[in-house]
Amino acid sequence: MPSGHIHPTAIVEPGARLGTGCIVQAYAFVSRHCELGEAVVVHPFALLGGDPQDLSFRGEVSSGVRIGARTIIREHVTISRATQADTCTEIGADCFLMASCHVAHDCRIGDRVVIANAVLLAGHVHVDERVFLGGGAVVHQFCRIGENAMIGGGARISQDVPPFCMATERSALIGLNAVGLRRRGLKAAALAELKRAYRALDVPVGNLREIAAALLGRGDFVSPEAQTFLKFFCGGRRQFVRSRTTALEE
């Protein structure tokens, strides 16, 4: 298929903006509310920029969907536009959205994220860069998934997942994402510090926001990865996943 191709049966509404080299395959729909970066590939029957599934939404609101360069969107993917005026649901660059996944209104997805088949992201979910979401996982609205985290297939996530961690089942934390960190090329000293930060917050009771803030205040953690991990606990509006043992006890 030639570079920069729109199939005759695809629908690209007037007002949609497509970067150089975009491919829109048969029966895909790209609404006027969309902005696609260069070399984005949209597979058959995907629907981009539809109205959000929000009963309070007013159709005349000027909102959109923004998709980064070289992202691949497979069959039957749906991405809803944002609910607030002059805002966008955002997908980063070099992402891979597999068949039948759904990205709801006001989500923000970072660069190089892989979303496997049938994943469902509710409204306002934030997924940082290099995250992998396993097939069939569902994520509650307003949750955050930190950088380089991995979510197991079929997981039900209703709490925030810290960076560089793995979570599965019902919001159960199962440790650091060792494979992802190895592929990242993390140096031994940084990995050791990250493990130390992880252990400090892997506690059955206690306010994780306060613990993380205290650790940051002491200045004992200097690597960017440990800093990113600890600072994650200072934001958000939901609680945080806990280890399997703690989750089962609760």
d(CA 149, CA 137): 13
Total domains present in the chain: 2
Choice among 37, 64, 123, 134 that is catalytic: 123
Domain boundary among 180, 202, 236: 180
Domain CATH number, residue 126: 2.160.10.10
Is 37 a residue of the active site?
A: no
Please check whether residues 160 and 213 belong to one and the same domain.
no
Supply the range of the domain harboring residue 214.
185-249
Task: Give which of 54, 51, 7, 40 is closest to 26, Cα–Cα.
Answer: 7
Choice among 43, 76, 105, 126 that is catalytic: 105
Task: Give which of 153, 98, 99, 157 is closest to 127, Cα–Cα.
Answer: 157
| Alpha-helical runs (H) found in 153-243 | 178-184, 188-201, 208-218, 224-232
Is 140 a residue of the active site?
A: no
Amino acid identity for residue 202 in this structure = D
Residue-wise over 95-116: b if at least 16 C-beta within 10 A, else e? bbbbbbbbbbbbbbbbbbbbbb
pLDDT in tens, the chain (250 residues): 447 899 999 999 999 999 999 999 999 999 999 999 999 999 999 999 999 999 999 989 999 999 999 999 999 999 999 999 999 999 999 999 999 999 999 999 999 999 999 999 999 999 999 999 999 999 999 999 999 999 999 999 999 999 999 999 999 999 999 888 888 888 889 999 999 999 999 987 889 999 999 999 998 899 999 999 999 999 998 999 998 765 444 4
Task: Give which of 91, 166, 164, 85 is closest to 121, Cα–Cα.
Answer: 91
Please compute Rg for the chain using Cα positions: 19
Please check whether residues 242 and 130 belong to one and the same domain.
no
Domain boundary among 180, 214, 238: 180
